[in-house]
Amino acid sequence: MPQNWLSLALSTLVASICGLLPAQAYAQEEPLRLGFLSVRTGALAAGGKQMEEGITLFLKERNYVLAGRKVELTIADTGGNPAGAKTKTQELVERNKVHVIIGPLATFEALAIDDYIRDARVPLITPTSAAQKDLAQQKLSDYVIHAAGTAAQPMHVLGVYAAKKLGVKRITTVADDFTYGHEGTAGFQRAFEDSGGKIVQKLWSPLNVPDYGSYVGQIKSNVDGVYAGFAGINGLRFLKQYAEYGLKKIPVFGNPTAVDEGVLRNMGDEALGVYSASWYSAALDTPENKRFVQAMQNEFKTIPGFYTAGTYTAGLFLEAALKSINGKFEDKPAFVRALHNVRLAQSPFGPIRIDEYGKPVLTIYIRKVERKDGRLVNTIVDTIPEVNQFWTYDPKQFLASPVYSRDYPPSKNLE
């Protein structure tokens, strides 16, 4: 009897364990559903294509498996506008049941989905230069992790470089009339004027303007520099007409995307000599970036730029966080904490760490467009490590000031 009883007990225990195995196995095998917000139509579509190339390369290199978990990628086209971004984000969360989202492309899209992301409690790893205080500071959300700096972050550096290293005194700014253009211009203006320069004229062009002739024609002849703050292919359009109007003698200082590698390959001599600042250049001479550039050339026959490297780096953030929690993304609090604790010693950008506001501290590169081996490149002429979103300004005072915008900092030197 005791032996029969023991056999029965063992059989019952085995049956119970086997009954639990399917559910446990399913939980372990459930794929990570990754949503990706891209732009496939409109003025920003070129950047969206580059973003998709970046995430595709990242996942393909890993056979669509991160930290032992299979990844299912769902790409949504936002149309490059706030309403589309919000609708597509809701679809990814409510219909596709995604566990995490990478994207979107534009700052105004990120602003449009911020409240929804907070309420839905789905982590967003964004490669946008998202609004300084709205997303990264005053409305800080644990569910928003920034894989790239703010629009103003590299422009602070460029403003100081233009004034102090190159001795530029008077500048006209021309930029896209939307959030990214506003914030980049504001950061440049503040640092440039704090370094002794003057912004004497400010021009704003609609994001989808077909012709820059009327704006180029307004640029004052007595300035010794022009700041160009453009996204998508607008930098290409502006520089072509800038050269056609005979203004090449006046140096241009661009935001990261004005002469991004994604559009630089379609430019000619009009881009030569343009200075810009960014956390990325395809010319960055590090083992990780050289490998990344070569992989992009092998896979897509193209040189990566700002948008491509940004989404690839967002993928690195996701991978590092998942590895630190052994792939158990179902534990959402642990997953979110892991995303905030990511420290990348190597990436296409260089080393990156996240500050207490969920924004990266990274290296900023001053670049100058040159022609090498018959191809235009963003040669690195200066390197400034450990740049945070506040630059050299006191964080408390920075946060107490109005958000960077079309009208702040105030323009006191316009003529």
406 part of a folded domain: no
Whichever domain contains 312, its CATH number is 3.40.50.2300
Give residue 356's pLDDT. Answer: 80
Which structural domain, as residue segments, surrounds residue 229? 153-284+363-400
pTM reported for the whole predicted model: 0.86
Structural domain count of the chain: 2
pLDDT tens profile 178-234: 989 999 999 999 999 999 999 999 999 998 898 999 999 999 999 999 999 999 889
Give residue 22's pLDDT. Answer: 42
Q: How far is Cα 86 from Cα 116, in angstroms, rounded to an integer?
A: 8
Q: How far is Cα 204 from Cα 405, in angstroms, rounded to an integer?
A: 12
Same domain (yes/no): 145, 177: no
Give residue 23's pLDDT. Answer: 40
19 part of a folded domain: no
Same domain (yes/no): 232, 253: yes
pLDDT tens profile 132-158: 444 444 456 789 888 889 999 999 999
Provide φ and ψ at 233, rounded to 5°. -95, 10
The pair of three-digit structure tokens given for residue 82, joined into one six-digit string: 């706030």
Provide φ and ψ at 367, rounded to 5°. -120, 155
Same domain (yes/no): 262, 202: yes
Q: How far is Cα 337 from Cα 334, in angstroms, rounded to an integer?
A: 5
Q: How far is Cα 380 from Cα 278, in angstroms, rounded to an integer?
A: 10
Q: Tokens 């026959």 correspond to what residue?
A: 301
Q: Tokens 């449009």 correspond to what residue?
A: 112
Same domain (yes/no): 277, 200: yes
167 part of a folded domain: yes
Q: How far is Cα 124 from Cα 356, in angstroms, rounded to an integer?
A: 17
In the chain, the percentage of residues whose pLDDT exceeds 70 is: 91
Q: Over the range 182-209, which residues count as b (16 or more CB within 10 Å of their CB) and which as e? A: bbbbbbbbbbbbbbebbbbbbbbbebeb
Give residue 325's pLDDT. Answer: 97
Residues (pLDDT < 70) of the chain are 1-28, 130-140
Within 10 Å of residue 142's Cβ, how many Cβ atoms? 14
Provide φ and ψ at 126, rounded to 5°. -110, 130
Same domain (yes/no): 264, 298: no
Q: Over the range 318-328, which residues count as b (16 or more CB within 10 Å of their CB) and which as e? A: bbbbbebbebb
Same domain (yes/no): 195, 207: yes
Q: Tokens 């001795």 correspond to what residue?
A: 167
Same domain (yes/no): 175, 296: no
Largest CA-CA distance found in the chain, in angstroms, rounded = 106
Same domain (yes/no): 64, 181: no
